Structure 1
Amino acid sequence: MKVIHDLKYVRDGEVVLFKKSPNRFWQCRFKLPNSKWHRCSTKHIHFDYAVKVATEIYDESRFLHKYNLPLQSKKFKHVAELAIREMEKELDMGIGKIVYHTYISSIRTHLIPFFAKKSVDKITQLDLLNFKANQTRKLNRPLKTSTLTNYNSSLNRIFDTAISRGWMSKSQVPPLSNKGVKGERRPAFSVDEWKVIIRQLKTWQNMGQKTITRDMRELLRDYVLILTNTGMRYGTESQNIKWKHINWFMDKDSNRYLMIAVDGKTGRRELIARHNVLVYLKRIQSRFDDLNTMTFDELLEAKLDVYVFRLRNGLQTNNLNQSFEQFLKFVGLLKDKFGDNRTLYSLRHTYATMTLMRGQVGIHDLARQMGTSVVMIEKHYSHLNSAMKAKSFS
């Protein structure tokens, strides 16, 4: 048991020095204007040296407090690992965003190796420029805006963690820039490529040797088909959909359309699914005994607080993008004609392209359907101006 003894007072009693046996070093404590006590070791055995160190710490702490600067500093690696643990905890609790997986990967693979030994409150704009140059050398090409945006989001998560614990102030966060190479077009699939995907998804599903593999591919098949027939974003926006978010919408002519409420990057919105989505949702419903006792209409009317995209064991998975990458390699469609890798996000761009090619839906309606801006639609799909007529979303 540690016992406090040899109390000494300096600076008119503002700074207290003491020892805690069996520790031989002098400790100090003092109270700042915010009425909070601060304690630290002087790391000195001799009292005169301890007084000098304690008063210097006290004066520096008062200065930092006056200008709203942190009293403690932490290495970037320590804060980054703490930020990762917090995101992993939120994911385990079911309240974390799917994009956290991307942040965690970015922090571990790129940010920690570069900034590890740097104090988090000492990172400057020059350090960020050096990091950008280092990544450019590694990739042997200019960084894309989307890549820099991901780095910035990951860094902001780390800075927020440091600020919340008093290890840095908001004024110490360096300006973050995402000026990179902008892609003129985003990887998508042509009509012929999409036909190959539709045909091969079922074949690939049945080729799985293990039950868990077949279940993953079974879910991936319907996930891919639904994404491409709704235009919703993969990840948080689609993975968080529950059966209670799906309803029938009836127009003035009594035509029914499936309407899905999503909440993601741009907030909450309701989108209209193409008619064939009904087939895919019924197929998902049929995998679960508790859902299969109802008709589809009864299922929607029940407003169940249950996730739609689940494996047969009832659990969600974060591995659909990796599984889709394996499938694309299997069918030889991983890269587009420009050499860029395609991902689940490419299905959203495929939806936009095919919708614009179909007929009478303009870019304003498409922007609302997809939860994006007209500017973004024009920016990425301007090459379709000659075919900007679409018949319908369904």
Structure 2
Amino acid sequence: MKERSPETVVVRENEIRLVRRPDSDRWQAHFKVEAIGKWIRKATGTADLDKAKALAEEQWFEAKVLAKAGHPVVSKKFKAVAEVVQRDLEIKVAADKTKRGSNNDYINSIKTYLIPFFGGYNVDRINQTVFTEFCEWRRVKVGRELSHSAQANHNAALNLVFDYAIERGYMTSLQKPVLKNTGEQGGRRPDFSAREIEVILEKLPAWVQEGRVGRTRNLRELLSVYVPFAAATGMRPGTEMEFLEWRHIEVHNLGEEPVLYAHIQKGKTVKKNKPMGAVLHRSCWLYLEKLRQMAPEFQDKTIYEVLEGKHEVRIFRARDGVQPVHLIAQFKQLLEDLNMLNCPTTGEERTLYSLRHFAITQMVAKGLTAEQIQSQVRTSATMIAKFYNHMKPLMNAAAFTGQNEAVGEDAVAQLLNNTPNDNLMHFAELSTGLNLALVMQNKPAFEELKEALEQASSAAAPN
């Protein structure tokens, strides 16, 4: 058995002891509470051994009563508990290496709202009344009622702190207040019409050349591909597109044409080491070819050779190889220059993320079901129905027409690529200056044309 320190005095064997550290004259009480299965430490505030013994007995008995009644034995300030939770979240963010996502939102909530208000409270004293006061304080601080989504982030972060406090015995589950959410549910998101996308792409070549220095022009050139790619795929600008590498794009032979398939590595809903996938519209062949032409290391390769090479190189890089860092600001500048910053329907400012909403709207219009779209854009069918209910008749078109609701790659690829009046290929040709071979666009039409030409040639040949 380990020898006790000379500065340790046993008051009750295996239950209470007094410990005096070398740098202090005062005794500290250590006592065990069986109901919670752990040793508790509390200061006695005295150097007198007899007084310290009496205080230790008193503290031990009080702790036993509290534990038996289901109350926390140790009281902790909210700030101390929240900072532990915050550090744990920061470690997770550093390991995941993402700039956005739930954990980042929780960290911001703890720093900006929770600690400033709850910091001085004992965590077990935060009841329903205190939480209601917090809601009012937050409304005054911001000057308005926060959205339902923002309040949900605050509540989730607060629950993380409470759960940790319960786990450590600082409070009980019965003391956890009900966290209400009074924010308005999100409505329609600011997006673009097909004509607005066309106007943007028509103006982009001149806007790129207006860049005053080479670095700005390179960034704008990249943006001229980044914008229509986001509009065609519905990928989240930022993490999903930023971390996309050439090795993450595959060519699948689905039906009668090669189909591009992307493995999304990072993003809001992508879990670590569990990438999610998306079928890419055929127009993306032109965007990838343009990006290949911009990459100095791929000048002597074809697009197929680049894709087969599985290169661990980011797809979206400027011509000088630099990873973009100011695309958001540049896109806002472009919209301001075109007087298109505010969405005419919602009145809200449009961002790169609005291109994702355009893409999802186009998928709905093409007849994809919410179930097909949810795996394609990594958003639940419930959220799609909620934010795109202005297109409800089109969302129900599949059911009205008896369309097969299969959710496989073949079904999604067929609907994405073989829809009449599809303007995405026009956008790709407009923004890249490239053309896709007819056999890649519509193989049945190509075969029909080929057969007609062969028949015409045979008929014209001399006997």
* Fold shared by both chains (TM-score > 0.5): yes
276-285 or 209-218, larger mean C-alpha shift: 209-218
Aligned to 2:416: 393
Pick the aligned partner of 1:348 from 356, 361, 366: 356
1:229 aligns with 2:252: no
CA 1:95/1:332 → structure 2, altered by over 3 Å: closer, same or farther?
same
Counterpart-to-counterpart distance in 1, 2:335 and 2:216:
16
Report deviation, 1:258: 1.3
Alignment of 1:118-157 (within 5 A): 118-157=121-160
SS at match of 1:8: strand
- Are the structure 2 counterparts of residues 294 and 145 from structure 1 closer, same or farther at C-alpha, using a change threshold of 3 Å? same
Matched, 1:270 2:277: yes
Contact 1:4 1:21 survives alignment (8 Å): no
3-state SS of 2:281 partner: coil
- Report how far residue 184 of structure 1 moved: 3.3
The alpha-carbon distance between structure 1 residues 5 and 135, as it changes in their structure 2 partners (threshold 3 A), is same
Q: Secondary structure of the residue that 2:59 maps to in structure 1?
A: helix
For 1:247, which of 225, 228, 250 is the aligned residue?
Answer: 250
Q: Which moved more, 1:55-64 or 1:311-320?
A: 311-320
Q: Provide, for residues 136-192 of structure 1, a one-character-per-residue CA deviation record: whole Å limited to 9, x for no partner.
A: 344444432222222233334544565676655666543334452123312112223
Does residue 1:21 correspond to 2:22, yes or no? yes
Secondary structure of 1:186's counterpart equals coil
In structure 2, the CA distance between the partners of 1:193 and 1:252, relative to structure 1 (3 Å rule), is: closer
1:290 shift after superposition: 4.3
TM-score (norm 2): 0.69
SS of the aligned residue for 1:258 comes to strand
Distance in 1 between residues matched to 2:355 and 2:208, nearest whole Å: 19
Distance 1:26 1:243 in 2: 65
User: Structure 1 residues 339, 55: CA separation in 2 closer, same or farther (over 3 Å shift)?
Assistant: farther
Aligned-partner residue type, residue 233 of structure 1: R
Compute the RMSD of aligned alpha carbons.
Answer: 3.9
Aligned residue for 2:20, secondary structure, equals: strand
Amino acid at match of 1:58: W
In our comparison, the structure showing a higher alpha carbon Rg is: 2
Are the equivalent residues in 1 in contact too, given 2:14–2:32 (CA < 8 A)? no
* Aligned counterpart, 1:106: 109
Structure 2 letter corresponding to 1:54: A
1:201 offset after TM fit, Å? 5.0
Residue equivalent to 1:10: 11
Contact 1:206 1:214 in 2 (8 A): yes
Q: Does structure 1 residue 176 correspond to structure 2 residue 199?
A: no
**Distance in 2 between residues matched to 1:216 and 1:118, nearest whole Å:** 49
- Cα distance per residue 1:245-283 (max 9 Å; x no partner): 311122222x12211133655555432222232333334
Amino acid at match of 1:333: M
- How far apart, in 2, do the equivalents of 1:223 and 1:353 lie? 19
Structure 2 stretches lacking a partner, 5+ long: 399-413, 418-463
After superposition, what is the alpha-carbon deviation per residue over 1:184-218, rounded to whole angstroms, capped at 9, x for unaligned? Answer: 31211222332343345555555556776666555
* Superposition pairs of residues 38-53 of structure 1, within 5 angstroms: 38-53=40-55
Task: Tell me: CA distance 1:31–1:326, structure 2 relative to 1, closer, same or farther (3 Å).
Answer: farther
3-state SS of the aligned residue for 1:261?
strand
Q: Does 1:334 align with 2:337?
A: no
Distance 1:192 1:294, change over 3 A: same
Letter in 1 for 2:352: L
SS in 1 for 2:262: strand
Query: What's the CA shift string for 1:354-383, capped at 9, x where partnerless?
Result: 3334x4444443344223344433333232
Cα distance change, pair 93–365 in 1 and its aligned pair in 2 (3 A): closer
Match of 1:297 in 2: 304
Q: Is the 8 A contact 1:5 1:19 kept in 2?
A: no
Cα offset, 1:292, TM superposition: 4.9
Contact 1:145 1:182 in 2 (8 A): yes
Say which SS state the counterpart of residue 18 (structure 2) adopts.
strand
Instruction: Give the secondary-structure state (helix, strand or coil) at the position aligned to 1:20.
Output: coil
Q: What secondary structure is seen at the aligned counterpart in 2 of 1:98? A: coil
Shift of the 176–115 alpha-carbon distance from structure 1 to 2, 3 Å rule, reads same
Structure 1 pair 330–31 and aligned structure 2 pair: CA distance change class (3 A)? farther
Structure 1 pair 24/385, CA: closer, same or farther in 2 (3 Å)?
closer
Q: 1:194 to 1:139 in 2, by over 3 A?
A: farther
SS in 2 for 1:229: helix
User: Aligned match of 1:370 in 359, 367, 377?
Assistant: 377
